Amino acid sequence: MGSTALGGGAPARLGLAPKDGVFGSNLKQCGGFMLKTTPKVGSSSVRVRASVASSPQKQHSPKTSGVKSGEEVRIAVLGASGYTGAEIVRLLANHPQFRIKVMTADRKAGEQFGSVFPHLITQDLPNLVAVKDADFSNVDAVFCCLPHGTTQEIIKGLPQELKIVDLSADFRLRDINEYAEWYGHSHRAPELQKRGMQSTMFVEMAPGVTANDLYQHLKSTYEGEEFVKLLNGSSVPHTRHVVGSNYCFMNVFEDRIPGRAIIISVIDNLVKGASGQAVQNLNLMMGLPENTGLQYQPLFP
């Protein structure tokens, strides 16, 4: 689960591209390394989605708003009664500049958010409203946490000046022709189409390349990436190590098969895989440090 950011301005409102990708096959060439990702059991296809939200590759970025320190950014959360919506609300509770002004949930319209999610009852939040009744005149940016297939129609009706971060799959695939294959129906807004989980990757290395070479390659690649941590020694990443945080932990191990290594990476699927990644993207769109409001340490135990 990842997020796509759409910025204001151009008709397509293309913003920061999501920092997660889709492999066209289960092989990806990377220098002297051939990455092979393992599909989930029961999958009818070997294609998988990579969901590491912080990437060393340069992404297309929109013009940022250049928000000043302390300046309030007014937020709407669409689909606030879902898991990713609730996690957005939790994360924004400690964000120094993002303030929630509008929250939608059609089936919970009129209810207080704390009655839907009692663990967030201490927050001062607006009541839930239906999307059709939402007032966006007092909003700068929107988090869309709506079900797949719903966001396409909703986004087309939003004011053009809003910055939008979509947590659904509706704008995840660059090729709209692949959308029907993955989600069972055609994409309804092609003009806007711009672009706890554990992944195990088997790496077939070129002759003379070792698992340590791969480790050093990843270490240099992700140097300076605050939310991607390469573990030391024989430490095995586990999803319980990242729960509640925006971190991705990974490590490299030598396989029993000669010439092959194993990469294990873990994220919290609701934070790094969805809501945390969305906040990280909007931080960048608003000209803020990407870690703003996201420096939560993982929960234990």
Q: What is the pLDDT of residue 121?
A: 94
HSE at residue 252, side-chain half, CA atoms within 13 A, is 18
Q: What's the whole-number mean pLDDT along residues 87-111?
A: 96
Nearest to 285 by CA among 90, 82, 3, 87: 3
Domain ranges (residues) in the chain: 24-58+196-267, 73-194+273-285
Is the pLDDT at 146 greater than 50? The verdict is yes
Q: What is the pLDDT of residue 63?
A: 52
Decide yes or no: CATH 3.30.360.10 for domain 24-58+196-267: yes
Least confident of 6-20, 117-131, 182-196, 253-267: 6-20
Q: What's the whole-number mean pLDDT along residues 141-166?
A: 85
Q: What is the pLDDT of residue 21?
A: 30
Q: What is the pTM of this model?
A: 0.72
Q: What is the pLDDT of residue 112?
A: 96
Q: What is the pLDDT of residue 184?
A: 53
Query: Rounded to whole angstroms, how far apart are CA atoms 231 and 251?
Result: 5
- As a CATH number, domain 73-194+273-285 is 3.40.50.720
Confidence of residue 151 (pLDDT cuts 50, 70, 90): confident
- What is the enclosing helix (H) or strand (E) of 4? strand 4-6
